Structures are given as C-alpha cells and as structure tokens.
Structure 1
Amino acid sequence: MAKDTIFSGESKNIEYKVTLPDKSEKYMKTIVAFANTQGGKLIVGVDDKTHQIVGVENDVLFQLMDGIANAVSDSCVPQIIPDIEPQTVDGKTVVVVSVEAGKNRPYYLKSKGKDNGTYIRVAGTSRLAFPEKIKELEMEGARISWDELTCVGYPVPKDATEKLCQDIERFRKKAGMPNHSVNKEQLINWKILKQSEGQLLATNAYALLTSDYFSFSKTQCAVFKGTDRAVFLDKRELKGPIYTQIEEAVDFVLRNIRLGATIDGLVRKERYELPPEAIREMIINAHCHRNLLDESCIQVAIYDDRLEVTSPGGLYNGLTYEEVMNGHSKIRNKGIANIFSQMGLVEAWGSGIKRILNAAEEYGLPKPRFQEFDNMFRVELFRNLFPMMEESRDIGEASEKHRRSIGEVSGIEQQIELNDTQKKIIKLLLEDNQLSAIKLADRIGIASRNIESNIKKLKELGILIRHGSPKNGYWEVTLTY
C-alpha cells in the first residue's frame, strides 16, 4: 500500500478520520457509499484538514478495530465485510478500513431504510442517493439491464420490425461483416423482443431502436463560437432510432470541422482535421454506455479548440476510471450493446477508448481527455490549432451544401478570376472574420454598396459563407488568394 497514494488527500475513494466518532452512523455513511460506488478506504488516525498522521494509541487499537467490524455488521444491509487492518506510517499506527465495490446493491443503513439510508460517493463526500440512483443500484444488484425490460404498451408492428432487421443487415454489409439474414426470431434470441403467451412484446431496447418513443432519447448537437457555450453558431436535435442518431451526429461533426487536402502527384487527398474513426467511436460509446434511467440527453459540442461528447451517467457498477483507461468494460445496456455488435458498430468490448487515443496520436493531435463525474462521462478530442496540411479550409454545414451544388473547390480554383476588391475583401476577412460591410468599405476605401455587391458575388461562388446572426455571426472563407 503506497503511502503517497492513500495519504495524499481525501478523494472519491479515500476518507480520513482523526478519531472514530462516538456515533457510528457518521462513518457508516462512508462505508455504505464506498460499497455502492467504486469501493474505497476509510483511514482512522489522519487529520482530514492537514493530512497529518496523528495515529491511534496501541492500547485501544484492537478494541477500535473490533468496534468498526461490529458496527458495520449491525448497521449495514445487505451485509458488508470490510478488510480492517493496522498500518504503521512514520512510526505511528493508523487503521485502514478497506471496502470493495459491492455486488448486492443497493447498500443502506438499516436504521434509516433503503429510501433514506442509501449513500453514494461523490468526489470526496458521501451523499444521499436520489430515487433514480437507488433504482439503478437495484438493477445493478439484480443484474438487470433496463433496456431488456418490457416496454409496457409499446406496439410491435410488422413494418417496424422488418425495417430494423433490414437496417441491421445494411450496417453489417457496410462494416464488411458476413452476410447474415436477420428476422424477428433473432431479435427474440437477442432479447430485443419477447414472447409471452403467444404475443410479441417490445423491450425498451426495441423502442429505442425503432422510434423516438422516449423523450430523453435524443442527441443534441451544437457548434459554439470560442471555447465555451456563450454563443451558438448552429445546433440540431436528433431524434429517432439511436443508430440513425449516431449516423446523423457523425455527419454533423464532419460538416462543421475543417477538411484539408494535400496534392500527391496528380492525386488530391482529403482529410478531416479530426479522425472520423475517433468521432464515430465517441458518439457510439456515448449511446452504448449511457444511463437510460437519467432523462438527460447525449450532447455533442464543437468548440474552436475541441470536440466534446457527454453522455448521462457515470461509470457503471463499480467500474473505476483507471480500469476504463486500461481497457476494462462493464455493459450497462446489454440489449443495445448486443445489437451494436451485430451491426458492426462496436468491436471488442473496452477497446473504444484505446481506438480514440490511437486515432488522435496518428493524427498528431493532443491527447484526448476523459472526465468522469457522478452523473455523466465526457470525452474531449482536441483540435489542432496549427495547419496540418498544405491546403485547409472550414467546411461548416452551409459550405457543405455549396460543395454538393457546385462541385469540389479544387475545380473552382482553376475556373474563376476575382477582381481586386474581392481579393481585398477575402484578405481582410481572413484577418478578421467578423468585419461588417461598413467596416470593409472603410478599410478598402470604397462605398459600402460596392462592398455588398462584391460580397453577394463571392457568396454565389461559394467562396464566402455566412454563419450565425448579422450581429454575432462570422464569415467563412473557403478559398485564399
């Protein structure tokens, strides 16, 4: 047991007590909270403010250890069996109470009952669990996956079932997987549908895969100006089957990041500034591992410096951040995870984080950041602030529409000629993309009406794209001269 690990300060997994409180309930909350989350250590004999090792007197040491064992046995339901041992540090003895993440959740204080005595660990404190958290703990303890439960009253129409089967086959083909005919019998085997007394019953997973039945099953996508959420440039709210949300969310990101090109001999090669594989993995993981008992939505946010994907729900069933980063995985939504596997959306469990890291490294990007909170998990993929390629330009959603209507930009470069005013406008907007027509006219020294006429022409050519409102928006320049 490394001293610098357990004596460097309180955390989600460490709590100090100078002495044992007279009322056992004051520290039983911590024991229960550790068992309900990722486990932890309660250390008696350390000052929680100064981290100074005070120690426990030897003449009361074993009495204190017996008292802790009895209090845990008498106070906690279901039974918690901690490991209680003395440890000598700097010539002083402390008592270390180690509690593992429990499998028979939820754990609670017998005197308060389940509703008022269930605690969880949040950062460095033990807090009372809300009803929805208690429900999730109950399902963890019963090894039940919410998405495999019956969706009471949800119909199973033939056309919706056939479409789901066809889409699974389509995804398999797109992923290069073996041809495999999918029908309702296989959906039953995969626990997406259930049979009861001759009737087909839908599971929650079936509803999520065929409709927008649940109001929380949405992906909110947005582009922000700068590095915070102060100013929206664009936003979308995606609904429908979750696999279509994934496709549309990936497309949204690709439309709103830069696409660059290099010329290799006579061949033009295009590459997005962020690896599409990592973008796809981030969004798939968010849907696969989200907490479906939390009515928040998945959020995909694009900032000037990063892509950020946030999913509701912290780590599942005692899984630690360190375990996640080392490739370990616990499946929260078994039905959805199985279908995603059948579709080729996921490969080996626990490999998603590694693929994101590898893709970022291959692109020469900063190391992605993974943040775990009590009720959410966030992945941040950082954009390269310096040009990576010989030619780079912003695409944005509007400019993607221009690409489709007028063809590749490389062809335009060879066909059009700009006048001096248009070239000056482009040069100034590359320096400051928020300049108004009046300010451009003042800088160039011509009438603003002339500026507006030239801007209109540049917009028609697809060289200038306007994003956002007239007051807070900005200009995107797709070509440089």
Structure 2
Amino acid sequence: MSDVLDRYIQASEGISVEFKRCGSQPGADTFETICSFANRQGGSILLGVRDDGAVEGVPEASALNIERNISNVTSNPSLFNVSPLVEFERLRDVDGKLVIRVWVPMGPSLYTFKGIVYDRVADADVRVKSDAQITSMMARKQSYYSERTVYSWVTEDDLEMELLDAVRDALRANDADHPWLSLSDGELLRAARLYGRDQLTGERGFNLAAVALLGKEDAILDVMPLYRTDAILRRVETDRYDDRLVCRSNLVRAYDELVGFCEKWLPDSFVLDRGQRKSARDVIVRELVCNCLIHREFVSPHIARITIDGEGIRTSNASRALFAGPVTLESLDPTPKNPIIANFFTQMGRSEELGSGTRNLYKFSRLYTGKDPVLEDGDRFTAFVPVPPVMASMVGSGGDREAAKGTERSGAVGGSRRSRTRAEVESAVDNLIARYGSFPASAVSEQVTSVGERTVRRYLSDMVKEGKLVCAPRGRSTTYRSGNSADSLGGDC
C-alpha cells in the first residue's frame, strides 16, 4: 500500500476525507461530497474504499471513464452552478487494487449541486437550507474583513468619544511611552485604523470596527442590528437561568461588564506561575471574554453567548474559520478574524498576540482544575473550561439570586471593582449563613481572595449599618449573623 493511501485510511473519514465504493461510474453522492468539500475547507474522496476503510478498488478498465464522468458532471452548468476544481491521483494498496483519489480544494464561490447547497459537517454532507447558514458560509469565504466596511454617515457624534480618555489610561498602564498617547482624538482614531478607506467602494469614513469598539447604542443598532452578548448563570434554574446580563454596549464597555459578570459567579483560585501568584480565574475569564468579543463575525445573525453552569464556563460566538474542528496546542494555526479590533484590544493590554489566548487557556485551565479546555472552531467558535470542585458547593445556594439582584452595573471603563467585590462578599456571606448560621470575618476572607481581610471587614461593617447583618463580639473575635435573626445582637463592630 502506498504511504499516501495508508495515511488517508489510518486517518479515517472526517471533515476533509471521504471513502466511497465505486463501480464503473461514481454515485450521485460523490458529487454531493465534491460540493460540500468545495464549500467547506476542501478534501479528498477515495473511490474504491468502503466506509470501514477496507480497500475494494475500482475496475481498472473503468478508471478513465470515472475520471471523465466526474469532470463532465462538475463542468455541467445545469448540475453545478459554478464548476469546482477537481484533480485526480491513482493510488494502489499492497495487493495492487486501484484507488482513485479525487482532490477538491475549497473554492471562492458558494457551490450548489442540482440547486442544493451542501456543507461538510464532521464526516457528513449536509443540505443547507437556512439563510443564516448560507450567510456564515459566504462570510467564511470572503477575503475581505467585514470590520473594514465604511459607513460614510457615521460621525464622531455617533461614537462615545469620551471613552478615549479611559482608553488612554489603559494605554498608559500598558506602555507609558505608547505613541498613541501624544495624538489628538482624530489622530488616534486614524492611527488605530478606525477611520479609513473602504477597499470595495472607495468611500472614506468610520468603519464597522469604530462603531463596534466605541459606538453609541443607536449607531450600533443601525450598523449591527443583531449585535449582543448574552451572559447567563444557570446553576439552580437549569431550564431558565439564575442571573442574566444582556450586553449591547460597545466592545470597550462590554469587556468590563462581561468580565465583571463572570468573575462574580466563578470561584477564584490563585496558582503559582513561574513563581508568581496569579488568579487562574481572571486569566481564563479575560481570554474567553476577549475571544467572544473581538474574534466574532459581526455580520452573522448568531448571538454570542457566555454560560456559567455547575460544570464550568462555556462560550459560543459566530466565527469565520477557514478550517473547522478541534483547536489544540498541536493543531494551533491561528488566523486573524478582526485584526483592527484585535489590535486595539492588544494596545490596551486586554489581549496578547494571536494564538496566545489559546495557549493561556490550556495552561491556566490545567492549573485551575487539572483538566484541558475544549475548543472547537468552525462557523461557530465554542469553548468550555471546567471549574474547580468548589463550584459544587455553590450550586443550589439560595444566595445566588439575591446576590444577582444586588449587583450593580457600572458604566465606567474598567468597571466598578468595588461593586463586584461587594457582590462577592455578599455571595460568600449568604453561603456561610446558609451553612453555619454565623461566621467570622476570616471565613469570608477565605472565599473572597481578591481583597484583604481588612477590606472584607469594611464591607461587613457596611452591611451591619444597612441592617443586613448584626455582629456579636465573642472573645477576641467577632461573629456575624443575618440581620433577620431574632436572637442576634445589633450594634456596630
């Protein structure tokens, strides 16, 4: 058996390999596969191989007619709307049986066979019927980035120009000598390529990237009417949700809102990375939120989602991947989705170079739980990162909903760290009351590791003044109970 044939058979059928039995003529399903390969990422059809990988071969006398038949059918405009490119290679196994390899590269058009669009999903040829699927397929084939589309009617009045001061603060924190710091607002927007020339129309103006990053809500709705990110907590009410954030803010604001939501509901865990103490949760949340925001396909009708449940955190967003399948460290071959938007976030210190996010997710997921994340790219990019066992103790907590109701959403870039920490303290207090009835400040401090015990005590003191808690001195320490407890002692502590 030739090495080439052996490699294909060992790989088995998949998104870019198909086995087919073949007599004197190829079957109709061969052309469905040709259509799906041309629409997806290309692939090889091995004629003369059964589904289980056993080689039957094709009749020697029919080989030339089989190749001619495929060439004629793919060139027939009444069968294929656009002729896909096909090439042939003859291979033999150890017994000399002939196998014809039909190679089909990905094509630039949307291909149909007998008026039907076929796409390749795993090892199957799937009929595409919905407009949303066809839109995703077309976006995947475009070499033009949708973020560069210019909207000549957009002016500075349609952008939150006041956000640029906060952007400069982030630039300065990341690089005190950043060249954008000395630029005026207009110069900064041009340097970031948010104002430029549309390659297709020749018009000059603000592009989709500018609206996505800094746009006001009305401008975002005009340019991207389906844009939003749904963040959902689903631990107790698995049929619905326990908490939800529907984020329609521009990307600069959305980052902080979504990071705050995820940090509130995920357990924190500090790990040692090259001798330095780091929050694995914060790194994972940052990478997942960044990917969901900046590497999505904005013209797709698919809604981006972030879901936190008892098993972990999951994200899903529209993508424009050239190759579909699992994303691993071994198969990592990153391609930019929105280079202008990604560069803006990189300059602000919110993301790193292309591919580093995947490496960070693998690294810190292993440090977080000892398990690998599950990443898959295609028309949709999906990610799953498991959570530590401590999450199980949080499932079913009655404090989840109350903490959600009390959560404050900050409108400032960078978010309100104080409001997020207060929510974490309140969630920890509810858990401790439900378990033990009373607790010392040190017990809260063990759960809220993002601040010191002195800060935790300050929040507890505020909750006492608000009547949510009462405190009782006990020896050298102080314990806290619910403010609704009839046998609790009031007063300041």
Code of the residue aligned with 1:216 in structure 2: it is L
Is 233-242 or 321-330 further displaced after alignment? 321-330
CA offsets, 1:79-136, max 9 Å, x none?
A: 543342122235232212122333x333445xx5xxx454321232333444455455
Deviation per CA, 1:381-406, whole angstroms, max 9, x where unpaired? Answer: 11121699xxxx99965598696399
Deviation of 1:368 after TM superposition, in Å, equals 0.9
Structure 2 gap ranges (5+): 408-417, 440-465, 472-478, 484-493
Instruction: Find the aligned partners of 1:120 and 1:402 in 2 and give their Cα distance.
Output: 44
CA 1:6–1:172: 2 relative to 1, 3 Å: farther
* 8 Å CA contact retained: 1:21, 1:27: no
- The aligned residue for residue 340 of structure 2 is 335
Aligned residue for 1:239?
A: 248
Q: Kindly tell me: are residues 170 and 159 of structure 1, through their superposed partners in 2, closer, same or farther at Cα, counting changes over 3 Å?
A: farther
1:230 aligns with 2:230: no
Equivalent residues of 2:8, 2:17 under 8 A apart: no
* Distance across 2 between alignment mates of 1:16 and 1:406: 55
What's the CA shift for 1:255?
Answer: 0.9
The answer to whether the 8 Å contact 2:292/2:304 transfers is: yes
Q: Does 1:147 align with 2:147?
A: yes
- Per-residue deviation, 1:58: 1.9
31, 34, 59: which is aligned to 2:34?
A: 31
Partner of residue 313 from structure 2, selected from 283, 307, 320: 307
Pairwise CA distance, 1:252: 0.9
1:98-247 equivalence runs, <5 A: 98-102=103-107, 104-109=108-113, 116-129=115-128, 130-135=130-135, 137-138=137-138, 141-151=141-151, 153=153, 155-158=154-157, 160=159, 162-176=161-175, 178-179=177-178, 180-181=180-181, 182=183, 183-194=185-196, 201-209=205-213, 210-212=215-217, 213=220, 214-225=224-235, 229-247=238-256
> Relative to structure 1, is the Cα distance of residues 77 and 189 closer, same or farther in structure 2, using a 3 angstrom cutoff?
farther
AA in 1 matched with 2:58: V
Deviation at 1:22, TM superposition (A): 5.3
CA distance in 1, matches of 2:121, 2:42: 12
For 1:366, the equivalent position in structure 2 comes to 371
Aligned residue number for residue 47 of structure 1: 50
Structure 1 pair 319–424 and aligned structure 2 pair: CA distance change class (3 A): closer
Amino acid at match of 1:278: I
Amino acid at match of 1:246: Y
The CA distance in 1 between the partners of 2:92 and 2:333, in whole Å, is 33
Range moving further from structure 2, 133-142 or 181-190: 133-142
Give the AA of the match of 2:302: S
Q: Helix, strand or coil for the counterpart of 1:340?
A: helix
SS of 1:251's equivalent? helix
Per-residue CA distance 1:289-331 (angstroms, 9 max, x = gap): 2122222222111112211111123x51346545885332222
What is residue 472 of structure 1 aligned with on the other side? none
| 1:409-448, Cα deviation, whole Å (9 max, x unpaired) | 99x9xxxxx9xx9986469xxxxxxxxxxxxxxxxxxxxx
Report SS of the residue matched to 2:162: helix
Distance 1:175 1:108, change over 3 A: farther
Aligned to 1:353: 358
Match of 1:88 in 2: 92
TM-score of the aligned structures, taking structure 1 as reference length: 0.70
Distance 1:239 1:261, change over 3 A: same
The aligned residue for residue 379 of structure 1 is 383
Of 36, 56, 59, which residue of structure 2 is paired with 1:57? 59
Partner of 2:422 in structure 1? Answer: 404
Q: Which amino acid aligns with 2:146?
A: W
Long gaps (5+) in structure 1:
263-268, 413-417, 428-455, 467-481
Task: Say how many residue pairs are matched.
Answer: 408
Distance 1:64 1:406 in 2: 68
Q: Percent identity?
A: 17
Closer/same/farther in 2, CA of residues 339 and 86 from structure 1, 3 Å limit: same
- Please provide the CA RMSD for this pair: 4.3
TM-score (norm 2): 0.69
Q: Distance in 2 between matches of 1:405 and 1:7?
A: 53
Q: State how 1:2-17 maps to structure 2 within 5 Å.
A: 3=6, 5-6=8-9, 9-17=12-20
SS in 1 for 2:88: strand
Counterpart position of 1:257: 266
